[in-house]
Amino acid sequence: MSQKVSARAIGLFTIGAIVSAVVGILLFGSGDWFKQQDRIEMVFSGSVKGLGVGSSITYRGVRIGEVESINISLYEGDNNINIRVVGVVVQQHSDNSLFKFGADRKEIFKALIKQGVRAQLVQENLVTGRLQIQLEFFEDKDGYAPPSQSGYIVVPTVPSEIEIFGETLSKLVEQFDGLPIKEISNNLAAVAEGMNNIVNSAEVKNSMRDLAGSLNHLNSLLSKLDNEKSEITGELLSATRAVKKMADSVAVAANNSQPILVGAASSLRKLDQLLAQSSKTLSTYENLVQPGSELSVTLIQTLQSFERASEQVRQLAETLQRNPESILTGKQR
C-alpha cells in the first residue's frame, strides 16, 4: 500500500519554488526593479512602422530605456492623427542618476530639452526594419511637442531621415511637374537632329578631309625640319657670328675714323679760307682788267667757280661736324 503524500510538504515545496524563482529573477534579471524609472512622452506625426513595445530608447548609441506603450491620439486644434509613444527611461548609475542628475530630474530633463535634446526614429536593424528611438541634440530644430495627455515629460520629436528624404523627393517631383518636360524634350530632339545633320553634311566631311590632309602635310614638314634641324641651326649660328663680326668691324672703323674726320673738317675749313682768299685776289684782278676783254671774261668765270667750290667745301665741313658717321653711311635724304 502506497504512503500518503502530506499536503503540508507539497505546500512547503511550492513556496520554496516560488521563492527560488523570485530570487533567481532578482539575481540574474535586469535588475530594473531596483532602479528608478522616469517616463517620457513623445508624439510622432509620421509613420512608426517598425517600432513596437520593448523597442530601445538610446542616447548617442547607449540604451537607456525602452518603449512602454504606443497609442493613437488626436490633439485638440490639430487635425492630424498622431502616434503617442510612452517610454521608460531607467537610471543607469549607482548614484541613481542617468546623466548625473540631481534630486529634481524633471527639471534636468526640461533643461536638456531646452538645450536641444530631441527624439528621432532611426533604424535599429536594416534587415528586419525594426526601429528605435534616439535622443540626440538638434539645436537648430524646434521639434514637435504637443501638450502631454498623461502628465509625463514631453520630449519634442523631429522627422526621421527617411521622412526628410521623402519630403525632399516630393519637393523635387513637384518642381519637375512644373517644368515643360515635353517642350524641353522636343527642343533636345531638334538640337540632336540638327547636330546630326551638321556632322553628316558634305561640307563637314570635306572640311575633315582637308584638315586631315593639312595635318599630314604639317607632320611631314615638321619631320623634315626635325631631320634638318642640325644643319639649319649651324647655318643660323654662322650667320649670327658673321653679323656680329661685321658689327664689331663697323664699330672699330667708326672709332678709328673719328680723329680722321676731325682732321678732315679742319683741313676743309682751311681750304675754304684759301678759296675765299683766292676769290678776293681774283676780284682785285677783275677790277684791273679792261671790261669785256677775253681776260676779263675768263677771270669772272674762274671767280664764280671758286665761289661755288668754297660753298660746297663749307657745306661738307658742316656735315662732317654734325654727323661724322655720314662718311660710312652716306648722306641722309
* Tens-digit pLDDT profile for residues 167-195: 888 777 777 776 777 777 888 888 888 88
Q: Which tens digits make up the pLDDT trace of 221-265? A: 777 767 766 666 666 667 667 656 655 665 565 555 555 555 555
Check whether residue 55 and residue 137 sit in a common domain: yes
The average pLDDT across 47-68 equals 89
Domain co-membership, 217 together with 132 = no
Confidence of residue 97 (pLDDT cuts 50, 70, 90): very low
317, amino acid identity: A
- For residue 1, being part of any structural domain is answered with no
The answer on 147 and 57 residing in a single domain is: yes
**3-class DSSP state of 5:** coil
Average of per-residue pLDDT across 150-171: 86
Rounded to 5 degrees, φ, ψ at 125 are -145, 115
Task: Of 66-75, 117-126, 250-259, give the lowest mean pLDDT range.
Answer: 250-259
Please state the separation of Cα 68 from the chain's center in Å. 52
Q: Which pLDDT belongs to residue 228?
A: 66
The SS3 of residue 144 is strand
For residue 61, give the C-alpha cell: 548609441
Q: Please give the pLDDT value at position 1.
A: 44
At 156 the pLDDT is 93
| Dihedral angle computed from the Cα positions of residues 276, 278, 282 and 283, in that order, rounded to the nearest 10 degrees | 20
Q: Give the mean pLDDT of 41-67.
A: 89
Q: Which amino acid is at 178?
A: G
Q: What was the pLDDT predicted at 331? A: 56
Query: Do residue 282 and residue 216 come from a single domain?
Result: no
- For the cut 50, the answer to whether the pLDDT of residue 4 exceeds it is yes
Task: Among 82-96, 151-165, 215-229, 309-323, name the most confident range.
Answer: 151-165
Residue 104, C-alpha cell as written in the block: 529634481
Which pLDDT band, with edges at 50, 70 and 90, does 137 fall under? Answer: very high
Q: Are residues 43 and 154 in the same domain?
A: yes
Identify whether 18 is part of a domain: no
Residue 200 has which C-alpha cell?
553628316
- Give the chain's largest Cα–Cα span: 209
What's the rounded Cα separation, in Å, for the pair 117 and 97? 18
**pLDDT for residue 289:** 47
Please check whether residues 287 and 318 belong to one and the same domain.
yes
C-beta atoms surrounding 192 within 10 Å: 10
Give the three-state DSSP class for 316.
helix
Residues 215 and 136 in one domain: no
pLDDT average, residue stretch 149-161: 88
Sign of CA dihedral 197, 198, 199, 204: positive
Q: Do 215 and 98 fall within a single domain?
A: no
Q: Are residues 144 and 251 in the same domain?
A: no
What's the DSSP call for residue 226? H
The overall average pLDDT reported for the chain is 72
In the chain, count H helices and then E strands.
8, 7
Q: Are residues 163 and 268 in the same domain?
A: no
Locate 73 and state its grid cell. 491620439
**Structural domains of the chain, count:** 3
Whether residue 14 lies inside any domain: the answer is no
Structural domain harbouring 36: 32-168
Mean pLDDT for 96-100 is 49
Q: What is the mean pLDDT of residues 286-313?
A: 57
Q: Are 55 and 67 in contact (CB under 8 A)?
A: yes
What span, in angstroms and rounded, lies between the C-alpha atoms of 190 and 177? 22
Instruction: Tell me: do 146 and 188 sit in the same domain.
Output: no
Ramachandran region of residue 330, left (φ > 0), alpha (ψ -120 to 50) or beta? left
Q: Is 70 exceeded by the pLDDT of residue 206? A: yes
pTM of the model: 0.45
Given a cut of 90, whether residue 8 has pLDDT beyond it is no
Do 126 and 203 reside in the same domain of the chain? no
- pLDDT band for 26, please (50, 70, 90 cuts): low
In a domain, 54, yes or no: yes
Q: Is residue 144 part of a domain?
A: yes
